[in-house]
Every structure is written in C-alpha cells, then in structure tokens.
Structure 1
Amino acid sequence: MTRFCIVIALERTAPRAAVELATAAARNGFDGVVLSDRFAPWTAAQGQAPFVWAVAAAAAQATAPAAAQATAPAGQATQLPAAGQAAQATAAPAEPLAVHPGVIGVSHRMHPAVVAQASATLADLYPGGHRLVLGAGELINEHLAGSYWPEPPQRIARMFEALEIIRKLFSGKEIRHSGEHFTLEQSRLWTLSGQRPAVLVATSGPVTARRAGAVADGILTESSDPAQVRLLGERMRAGAEAAGRDPASLQLVVRSHHALVRPTDEAGAAAALADAPNLAVRYPSAEVRTTRDFEQLLRATDPAELAPKVVVGDTPEPHVARIRQLLDAGADELELRFLGPDQLGYQQFFSGRLLPALADPAH
C-alpha cells in the first residue's frame, strides 16, 4: 500500500510550529512527516533554519503517545477510505508517525560519522521511525565551513563515500577510513539499536540512480515528470541486479509539489513562489552561496517558472491525477510538499478530499 508523507519546510517553519504541524499530520492521515535540513533559508522572508535533528526528535516524541504505545515500526501504509467516505482527521493513527529528517547534505558542515551518530540515536529513541536520505549538498548550507566547493561529480563522489562510512558504522564494528574526501580514525557507534535506518540517496540523474541501486536502500527524487521517475526506478533496479542485490528490496520515494490555488490566481502563485523559490530560479540553486545572493537571483524570476514543477489546482482532480501518474511510474512512497501559508488547511484538504478521491475510481 502507498505511504504518504507531508514535507514541513524548516526554512519557513519555527521549531515549535513544526512540531505542531507534525502532530496535526498524525491526525490527518499521513504516514510520516519530512523535515528539511537547512542552515539558512532561501530568503530572509522565510526566516527560519532550525537544526533538523533536534526538531525531528521533538516531533517524534510529540506524536508517539497518540500511536498506541508507539511500539510498532512507523510509516505503515495509509489505508485509503472507501469511495465517497471522508477520512477522519480527528482519529488517532493506528501506528506511530514516521519522522524523517529531509535530505542530509554530507559535506563540510556535517561529517558522515556525526550524521551516522545522529541517525542511530534517533533510531534508538524511536525504532523504525525514520529513513536517512543523503544528498550532495547545497552551498547555501555548506559554505559556512569556508572550504572549497567542488563540481557536481566530485560532490556526488563525496556523497557515496559518506554512504560507505555510514553503512560501516551502522554495522556496529570499529572502523577506520581514509578516502579521497573523508578521513575517520578508529571509531564506532556505541548507541545503536537493532533496527538500522534505511539509507537512501537523493538524485534526479539516471547514472547516480544506478550507482545507488548497487549500494543504497533506494533513492529519493523530486522529479515532476512521471517518465523520468520510471527511468530512475529502472536504473536503480538495474544497478541492484548488477550488484547481485534484490531490486524489490529497494525504495523509490518521490517528492511532489502542490499548490492549492486556481491556475489563474496570481496572488496564489506568488505565495507559492515565496514558499519554494528554489524551484523557480533558472540558476542551479545548489551553487548559491548565501541568502542574500539568492534574493538577487529571485528578483528576475517569474512565478510562471514554477508551473512545470508544481501541480496547481483548488480541486482534488489535478492532484489526484499527478499522484496516480507517479504511482503508476513505480513510486513506493510520496512526499507531498504543499506550497503556501495555510499548512494546516492543506493537511485537512489531504485527509478530507484527496484521500477519498484517490479511493474513488471515478476521479
């Protein structure tokens, strides 16, 4: 069964508000929440950038009591209501809510050993409650260390080297590592639960997807094109087969962006742009150094640039259509990012209108 998570953007959400939204998500039919990893927001107007691991722990603690002792693994599949039957937003979830830190950049800011320790600690507190997704990083978050920012191929190589270190540490053994990008002296994780988090790779490229299939537990992609999602899944599984692994054991997680506004609503489009401006700029956002630099780029950006990357509509139909396309393309789980200020209202739209529509073949 399909699992649905909602993305809580920490670049625009204060820590306490994020925990409140996570608690609401547990009541509104979501299987999990995803909290973005940020050291800086894209714009000063967004105004937030709390430490994702602290917020994740607080959100997991806040949602655990509502989930029947919080002893079972989190993130079980959402049961779609029968056609015409609205989801009960006030009912407690049957399982603990999964709380996933978003894409974690393994670069200058966070050594992979520290990422492994943070993930292992969260897994010990809330077994089965999160996955670890590694990314190549964004300069706006990583420049603070003052180190050289390499080209994309080197950043991808560094990400896979970090993955190797983390997997070794998750084994519980004492390890050493001396590689091209990282050095690790005699080290081990002393706090390590029996259930290790799945480790995924964030990518939108088929070459990286194939490489991830050989060594990771799956991939996360933000591609808005179902054909591209299908291709990435095929390449991931091909990489797994070439490495002698079971392709069926890997996860294909897709992040989809949605704006609950009329296509002709210019004010709504502007609000969506303010919420996720990185989707609209034509310059590679991973190469932008500071919030101030990004704001300069944004001055020449038209909200219409969001159109190819965001599903727009104030009725369930366009959103249901995109979700079904992504599921048909092979997505195992969807991370839904709703753009705009009314995040609680978007959750209620999901539980009261999207879930029933997804269960209705007429939609």
Structure 2
Amino acid sequence: MATIGLAAMLEALHPRDAVELAVYAQERGFGGVMATDRYQPWTARQGQAGFVWNVLGALGERTEGDLGPVAVPGSRMHPAVLAQASATLAAMNPGRHWLGVASGDAVDEHVTGDYWPEAPGRIARLFEAVDLIRKLFAAPAGRDVRFAGQHFRLEATRLWTAPETAPQVLVATGGPVTARRAGRQADGLITMAAPPERLEVLLDRFGAGAREAGKDPDAMPKVVQVPVSWAPDATRAQEQLLANPPIGAARLPRSDLRSPHDVAAVARLLRPDDFAGRVLVSDDLGEHRAHLQRLLDLGFDRVYVHDAGPDPRAWIDAYASDVLPHLTA
C-alpha cells in the first residue's frame, strides 16, 4: 500500500501546531508525516525551526502512521548521533520510522562555524555517513563498532538502545548520479516533485544502482515530497504560492546561502515560472488527483504533500473529500 502523508514544514509551523496539524490530517485520511531537520527557517518571515526529533517523538504518541525525518549528517549532527536518535525513535515506534539523510544547505549547517564543503565534498560526506549509520544499525547485539573515514571517525561504541528492526536509511537527492549511488549504498530514495521525465530518469538510475548491488529496486522505498498550492480560485492559488514560496522546490541557487535574510532577498525575485513542473498550482482538485496519481504510477510508494496556502486545515479537508479517496496504488 502506498502512503499519502503530510509534509510538516517545521520552518513555518510552531512545534505544537505541527503536531496538531498532523493529528488533524491523520483523522482525515493522511497516512504519515515527513519533516526536515532545520536549524533555521528559509526566511525570517517563516519564523520557526523546531527540532525535528522532538516533534517526531510527540507525533509517535499522537499518531499511527509513518515518521520520516530528513536529517543532515555533518558537523552539526555527527552520524553517530543521528543513528542514536533514529534508533530511539524506532524503538519507541516499531515499524513506523524511516531515516532520511541529505547533503544539506548552508543556512542550517554553517551554524557550528566549520568549513562548508563544495557539492562533491558534501555528497562524499553524505555517503560515508550512510555507511557509518548502517554499520551501527547492523552491529550484532553487544558488539562495538569502529569507523575511520575521510570525514568521520567513530571510536569503539554501539547503540545501547536499539530497535528490533533497524530503520531503513533513505538518501535524498535530485540528481541521477547520486540516485544511482543511493541505489547501491542505501535502502531507499527521497526526492522532490519534478517533471515526470526527470523523475523517470532518477528512478531508472536508482534502480540500476540497486541491481548492481544485488537488490530489488521494486522492493525499496521511494519517497517524493510534493509541494502544491490549492485555493478555491486560481488567482488565489497563484498569489499564495508567491506569498509563501516552497523554497526547496524553486529553481534557486540556495545551497550556499547562509542567512534566512539572504534567502529572502533572493526569493523576492522568484516568479511562477521558477516553480513550473515542480509545484502544482491549481484550484481544480481533479488536477491535484491526477498529479498525485502520476507519482504513484511512476513507482513512488510514499508521497508527502504540503500546501503553500495560509489555511492548511481547509486544504486537508479538500484533499480528504476530493483527492485521497480517488487515488489507487
């Protein structure tokens, strides 16, 4: 069964509001929650950056669906610490938690003052972290793990609190080269909604990498985050997209921007074309159904949606009545 869940935008939601919204969404048919580990919001106007692990811990007690964070292993969060956080969440919520990892953006990761690597260095660091995390997850009970890599070191230790079944480790990427490597080294893939032809290439490369490692790509989780802008009329849907743009989905050189004020300055230049093919903007819920169905038909089995509008409950209600019941996995 596919999951249609809520992407909780912690950069714009107070943690209590994020939890209550996820509960509201579950009561209306959404199946899980995805959230990104942010240290700062994209823009100061968004105004929030709650710690994802605290929020997911609360959601574990209030909801029943998937719990999927996307975190960045690096100087802010050593992969051993991410492994501990993930193992604890999985131990408390058996069968519900998957761990997403990404190469990150400077707006969150520069805060410790360490060197911010170029893109190739970030990718190399990411996959080294995947290896370290999976070694900790896979270690037999009572057995210590050591690790010495180019980017990370781990002295002899273990996960003292571990779940019966280790969380799957999913790599977030939008590039075919990294997707192929994710297929080889990780348990699954995360990406952002994009034109179908681009997603087809991404999934094809992911599958090729999985088969190179002797794995079945059809059995591996494939997650897509889907930003939309819905309103009862088309003009409002377009206006709210630009009023509260989903920065992660925009054609915007953002990876090296270090301040929410810098991101906001660049975001003021965004136009509707900068979201073309990446964000569905429509008042027609039939178009929203077709958009999500295409992603399911491509092979994504976990689809997490968020809306740019100011009233998320109205959007959730609209999806609950006219979108979710008509989707087929």
Is this a same-fold pair by TM over 0.5?
A: yes
Say whether 1:243 aligns with 2:210.
Answer: no
Q: Residue 143 of structure 1 aligns with which residue?
A: 110
Contact 1:18–1:59 (Cα < 8 Å) also in 2: no
Q: 1:234 aligns with which of 204, 218, 231?
A: 204
Q: Residue 154 of structure 1 aligns with which residue?
A: 121
Contact 2:242–2:270 (Cα < 8 Å) also in 1: no
Q: Residue 318 of structure 1 aligns with which residue?
A: 287
Say whether 1:174 aligns with 2:144.
Answer: yes
Distance in 1 between the 2:159 and 2:264 partners? 41
Contact 2:104–2:255 (Cα < 8 Å) also in 1: yes
Contact 2:90–2:163 (Cα < 8 Å) also in 1: yes
Q: 1:331 aligns with which of 300, 317, 322?
A: 300
Contact 2:68–2:98 (Cα < 8 Å) also in 1: yes
Distance in 2 between the 1:130 and 1:151 partners? 31
Q: 2:81 aligns with which of 114, 117, 138?
A: 114
The range that moved more, 294-303 or 124-133, is: 294-303
The range that moved more, 46-55 or 267-276, is: 267-276
Residues 267-316 of structure 1: per-residue CA shift (max 9 Å, x gap): 54332234334147544212111111112212322344233321111221
Q: Amino acid of the residue matched to residue 210 of structure 2?
A: A
Consecutive unaligned residues of structure 1, counting only runs of 5 or more, are 64-95
Note the 1:189-338 alignment, pairs <5 A: 189-261=159-231, 264-265=234-235, 267-279=236-248, 282-338=251-307
Distance in 2 between the 1:358 and 1:283 partners? 32
Distance in 2 between the 1:137 and 1:229 partners? 20
Q: 2:323 aligns with which of 354, 359, 362?
A: 354
Contact 1:229–1:330 (Cα < 8 Å) also in 2: no
Q: Residue 20 of structure 1 aligns with which residue?
A: 20
Q: 2:313 aligns with which of 310, 326, 344?
A: 344
CA offset at residue 161 of structure 1? 0.4
TM-score of the superposed pair, with normalisation by structure 1: 0.85
Distance in 2 between the 1:216 and 1:110 partners? 19
Q: Residue 133 of structure 1 aligns with which residue?
A: 100
Contact 1:37–1:104 (Cα < 8 Å) also in 2: yes
Distance in 1 between the 2:185 and 2:270 partners? 38
Distance in 2 between the 1:353 and 1:243 partners? 41
Contact 1:280–1:303 (Cα < 8 Å) also in 2: no
Secondary structure at the residue paired with 2:327? helix
The range that moved more, 323-332 or 185-194, is: 323-332
Contact 1:270–1:303 (Cα < 8 Å) also in 2: no
Task: Sort the Cα spacing of 1:281 and 1:210 in 2 relative to 1 into closer, same or farther, 3 A.
Answer: closer
TM-score of the superposed pair, with normalisation by structure 2: 0.94
Q: 1:100 aligns with which of 46, 68, 71?
A: 68
Q: Residue 37 of structure 1 aligns with which residue?
A: 37
Identity of aligned residues (%): 43
Task: Sort the Cα spacing of 1:280 and 1:211 in 2 relative to 1 into closer, same or farther, 3 A.
Answer: closer
Aligned length: 325
Distance in 2 between the 1:141 and 1:310 partners? 23
Task: Sort the Cα spacing of 1:250 and 1:280 in 2 relative to 1 into closer, same or farther, 3 A.
Answer: closer
Consecutive unaligned residues of structure 2, counting only runs of 5 or more, are none
Q: 2:131 aligns with which of 164, 169, 180?
A: 164
Task: Sort the Cα spacing of 1:313 and 1:283 in 2 relative to 1 into closer, same or farther, 3 A.
Answer: closer
Residues 303-359 of structure 1: per-residue CA shift (max 9 Å, x gap): 442333211112211111211221222212211122111111111111111023436
